[in-house]
Amino acid sequence: MTIEERPLAIGDVVTDVPLQTFDGREFRLSSLRGRPLLAVCVRYYG
Amino acid sequence: MREAHASIEALGARVVAVGTGSAEQARRLMETGTPFPCLVDADRRLYRALGLGRVGWRTVFDLATYTNYWRAWRRGARQGDVSGDPRQLSGVAILDPEGRLRWLHVSRTVGDYPSLPDVMARLRKHEGGRDGPLRSR
């Protein structure tokens, strides 16, 4: 396991991976900094 | 989560949903009134970063899974087309205003979500935004 593959620990800055919006644009969680964020990673959309 | 969105916003927090499915499915969810962004992580990079694993097919089809489906159905949830990875496990994370992970629920099996009251209690614990308790560990 590399460092990049190590799951984040409490206190770590969350990896700013590129996500995608419903209309195909790139979206990064870092754009939401400034307020607490609740991120719900669902099993799948259905 | 839709019903609690206003209460979560009142605590000063934002909400996003992340799924492994298609952008088209995320669009449909938002068109049906989901009041927060539905994002897509097709490569599972955020899931991997958070240590959210995948289950075997046996778990996908076992009795406990269908019991959880039944509970969700009784709460009014209805399953649409599956888009994404059905073996993916879920998770719920709270990030502070600087993007640091402050709380994480890692699902151990299908349908293993924290209760809404528990999530709200965690958010209240961190209420205060940039200058509040989330800023200091």
Residues B120, B129: Cα–Cα separation, whole Å: 15
Structure confidence by residue, pLDDT tens digits, A12-31: 999 889 999 999 999 999 99
Structure confidence by residue, pLDDT tens digits, B27-60: 888 888 889 999 999 899 999 999 998 887 777 7
Q: Under a CB-based contact definition with an 8 Å cutoff, are residues A44 and B86 in contact?
A: yes
B105 contacts chain A (CB < 8 A): no
Task: Please tell me the pTM assigned to this model.
Answer: 0.79
Task: Domains for chain B: give ranges and CATH numbers.
Answer: 5-130 (3.40.30)
> Which chain B residues have a beta carbon less than 8 Å from that of A42?
17-19, 90
Mean of all residue pLDDT scores within chain B:
82
Sign of the CA dihedral with A32 first, then A36, B106, and B33 last: negative
Residues A10, A32: Cα–Cα separation, whole Å: 19
More confident residue, B102 or B23: B102
> Which chain B residues have a beta carbon less than 8 Å from that of A1?
none
> Which chain A residues have a beta carbon less than 8 Å from that of B134?
36
Contact A30/B14, CB-based, under 8 Å? no
CA distance A17 to chain B (A): 6
